[in-house]
Structure 1
């Protein structure tokens, strides 16, 4: 039985510690704030991300951690800050599809009717991909179709129960992979983020096509065994390791998942957080500036999300393992 399948207790403890840290870092106005960039800190985007993750863990962790109250406060803050185009990195800058997708995913758990159905209309391209910003005239390449953002909006449509929108986006996600042999990173230093979110979206909307899965499994092989051997821990920061873990789980690459899980748990700090390691890019005309989540909130949220994926896998794996043992015992008794 794999480490993922056998480590549920340790995983739940790690999740609870991470969730407690996130709850403790929520500010009195309901927002979480992270990243220090020229426009200031992110509030709406980060709040959507952390809120979605805490919503995933609320049934796994003790109620006294206060996750439910934190989620409610975040939802109130996001409701109050919604604009015609949705939400942005913060309330000071234009709205974008990615920030809007996280806010929608959180608020969809309350009442779908409070979210306008057309909120993403101006972000959808003619090819059914998603651009991050609405106007190519004003935003240039920031308003191109981005592989990291399309699945995020797809997951938002899934949360809203909009199956027709999901059915339009899914073929585009697959097509983009087949066009270039993978998904291209734009907003993040590593490709791990985009791969994980595209695989999550595909897995939840009919499954990962066999040819896509084969390419991404090979990519994981290259990552953990560049010298022909299997490394003890992946040499990437925790934010990327968490996304590799999600990808491995969605690809049913159990040996790889064990490696990533071990590395992720070893990186957790005594206060329940994970080190700041989310390396976001702000592309310019000739180069890209890199910013990190200096408060570690996004890194911690993503690590908790990956651990939740592993817990789900461990439950399914234990059931499968028990069934296999039962079948073997019945065969032996015959």
Structure 2
């Protein structure tokens, strides 16, 4: 009998073949509604949870080919690594949602999961995101997809698609209807979909649109988006505020500076940064900043769980443990490969708590 990894690999190869080589486009008369987003942008989460969900109301989904592209404002470094606007957790969740979309191609199923994750984000419950697998009735295959590297492959595909947008996206959520970007009018997507539909089976959602919505009146949502470059409109002098200093907080030694936007995002959102056995704390540059006086609130630790039965060397189980005391960085590779002798290891960032001596 084939092993579980082999079955999983065969399954994913089947999915890759059917979706990438022979993508299904649904009815030729249906309207293609594409959302380019990133998982931890609060405005993307709000749009998915409170607005895009309307695509399933009053039969609208019957005329829509809904596509979700979780990449957003991320970019790929020359060394191939990803930099996401809201940090490494966003890169992780982007890949998880990409895997979910691929493994569960039925839009109702994968949207239910994504809606759950984004709702967790809005409610500041991201440490509970893994519960969405059970809440949406899905298995843990997307986590296996991520840990085996397929998530990175999918994200590169989404990165290439996002880069080819014409005109290029300026912010997320970026909504496109039949290759036409809605720009700031993205919340009015229902009207745009109904106007673009050329079929004869008009759903109730289109028939019941208020008269004012049919006018496709544009509204300004410029403050309710995550821009590609948050500093693009700043003067050169103002950009100095965003320069970065990487310091050993214990000795105040400046290791380097970066004043370019992408370098800033890489330094702030990347990591964790370590030199030898020193954990580096990254902080935005401020005039008269003293690393000696700067308070460290978080530190990186390797949590080792002794004598844990190998049956529990499971990604979701270990993620659930890690989310309780701090922020997960990664599960030790030796643990995932069941190579560790007596310990299961989890790297996480935890708050530094100092008890008062008074």
Same fold per TM (> 0.5)? no
Give the structure with the larger strand fraction. 2
Bin for the TM-score computed over the shorter chain = under 0.3
Structure with greater proportional helix content: 1
Larger gyration radius, structure 1 or structure 2: 2
